[in-house]
Chain A
Amino acid sequence: MTMVSSSMPPEPGMAARAAAWLAMALRASWPFAAFFIGFFLVWEYSVAIFKIPGYILPTPSQIVSNGWADIPRLLDYTLITGAESLIGYLLAICIGVPVGLAIAFWKPLQRTVYPFLVSLEMVPKIAFAPLFIAWLGFGLLPKVIIVVLVCFFPVALNAIHAFGSLSDELTRFCRSTGAGPLRTFWKVRLPAALPQCFVGFKYAALNATVGATIAEFMGSDQGLGFYIQIATGNMRPDLAFAGIFFLTLLGLALFGAVSLAEKLLIPWHITLRRH
């Protein structure tokens, strides 16, 4: 290594900069990493020390090895729950944003639909899950509807707020240019509303997998929620934990994708926050 680097021109190369970055990242995050690893170590050995039976609390190593043995089914179910969450989430956005837009711009709706939505927001949406299962059966549709239900409100309410809160100055500026409503929308109102819309999208992304899982608890024959319920019934908490792990991955993936979209669509906002 020393031979190679001494024969290279003495400039800070990619490798050196990457190493420096890695060192910095390690320095910044080692307390977290240490705590994270420590948590699982304490878990692993407490189970042995306190002689907790496996059907009550499995060790992390049991979860990994037994989960690995059942990996095809877990992956299969991850896809199913993922599809329910994703379809419901995207539908909620496709419905919620236009509804928010309409309410923000059309006064009669503000006096009728808006108060109705706000009072519905008080209702725990998940309580409707058994009804939808009863009405629509065990298939994909009731799950998607329940996901839409839990994702729609944060999306719509934030969209109303986003499109209804352009500053007086900017509104007047646009009017003084003589620009029509459509041009004003594309050039100013829409980009100005995006940050607040993403607040709703991110919140809804957290809700999506929750909705899908609970819908599966209520009645299904596949998916991670179903898997967790069956595993628990069979006194196999190790497999239930494996299912929870994949659910977590699913939630992280969805939230990560939304965050990435935010970064790509409104980089100026992210930079703004960092300053």
Chain B
Amino acid sequence: MGATIDIRSLTKTFGAGPGAVHAFGPIDLTIESGSFVSLLGPSGCGKSTLMLMIAGLLDATRGDVFFDDAKVDGPRTDIGIMFQDNTLVPWRTVEGNVALQLELRGLDPRDYADRIRDLLRSVKLDGFQHRHPYELSGGMQQRAAFCQALVHEPDTLLFDEPLGKLDAMTRESIRTDLQALWMQKRPTVVFVTHSIEEAVQLSSTVCVVTPRPGRIERRIDIDLPWPRDLEVKASARFTQYVREIQGIFHDYGVL
């Protein structure tokens, strides 16, 4: 089970004086251990900034983030992060890129050979471990980046629109893998997305973030059975959740 993340009156302002941009906040949010929480909002609402601050990669203007009561000051190294633009490096193979996460931590990838193999197999990349990123499709690259983010067995995962640049079919397929992994290991997941359907399908809780300055307008617990396969997605209640969220964005003039 992952950490409980506590966000207390977190505020971010870029710049100072009359030209300052109030990105978001104050935000108060508790992300329970083992939950899958989506930050859902239009682009520019500060949800990616919020994620960076949870990771300790960006300082808050005011407020704090706590991991199981430990205040975040500086980068958290016990988490796995995935960005929209993946962090695969072109000079390493798929396997080497996964190992990079370990090497940067001063770990010996040879001790993790089995884990790397299992991870790659679990996302259907077995047989591609010796290929370079540019030899893979966009979807396969994100799958490799997924393994890179997970290889050190973090129990908290932060995703910043990792499927944003993929085609619909590939997205659907990777969502299924992501969900399977979450159900099996129950890490705490913070998932930034602008796709309503994606948020409803994957999350135990959807936080609807309004446009700048970003605020959490509504916290919606998604009470649907797992796994959320095509059948669940076709159900009336799934559609109801999607409509409800669409309604919120409509009221804000986003939709």
Chain A residues with CB under 8 Å of chain B are 167, 169-170, 172-179, 183-184, 187-188, 191-192, 266, 268-269, 271-272, 275
Contact = CB atoms under 8 A, between A and B. Distances in A.
11 contacts: A169-B83, A170-B89, A176-B75, A176-B77, A176-B81, A178-B75, A179-B105, A183-B106, A188-B89, A192-B89, A269-B90
B52 A179 contact: no
B81 A173 contact: yes
A183 B107 CA distance: 12
Given A183-B104, A191-B91, A275 B134 contact: yes
A275 B100 CA distance: 24
- The prevalent SS among residues of B at the interface is loop
Contact of A272 (B76, B81, B90): B90
Given A187-B103, A187-B104, A178 B77 contact: yes
Contacts of A191: 89, 91
A176 B89 contact: no
B77 A172 contact: no
A173 B148 CA distance: 10
A263 to B, nearest CB: 13
A172 B57 contact: yes
Contacts of A184: 104
Contacts of B176: none
Given A178-B75, A275-B134, 16 more contacts: A169-B85, A170-B89, A172-B55, A172-B81, A173-B83, A176-B57, A177-B77, A178-B77, A178-B105, A179-B104, A179-B105, A187-B103, A192-B89, A269-B91, A271-B134, A272-B134
Nearest to A183: B104
Interface string B88-110: 01110000000011011110000
Contacts of B57: 172, 175-176
B83 A187 contact: no
B74 to A, nearest CB: 9
- The prevalent SS among residues of A at the interface is helix
A268 B76 contact: no
B4 interface: no
Nearest to B77: A178
Contacts of A266: 91
Given A172-B81, A178-B75, A187 B87 contact: no
B194 interface: no
B107 to A, nearest CB: 10
Contact of B104 (A167, A169, A174, A192): A174
A178 B76 CA distance: 8
B132 interface: yes
B190 to A, nearest CB: 14
B91 A268 contact: yes
A187 B132 contact: no
A167 B105 contact: no
B23 interface: no
Contacts of B104: 174, 177-179, 183-184, 187-188
Interface in B103-123: 103-106
Nearest to A171: B57
B132 A268 contact: yes
B60 interface: no
B144 interface: no
Contacts of A169: 83, 85-87
B106 to A, nearest CB: 7
Contacts of A167: 85
B90 A268 contact: yes
Interface in B15-61: 52, 55, 57
A169 B142 CA distance: 14
Nearest to A268: B91
Contacts of B90: 268-269, 272
Contacts of A272: 90, 134
Contact of B87 (A170, A178, A268): A170
Given A268-B132, A271-B134, A177 B89 contact: no
A115 to B, nearest CB: 24
A266 B89 CA distance: 12
B200 interface: no
Contacts of A177: 77, 101, 104-105
A271 B132 contact: yes
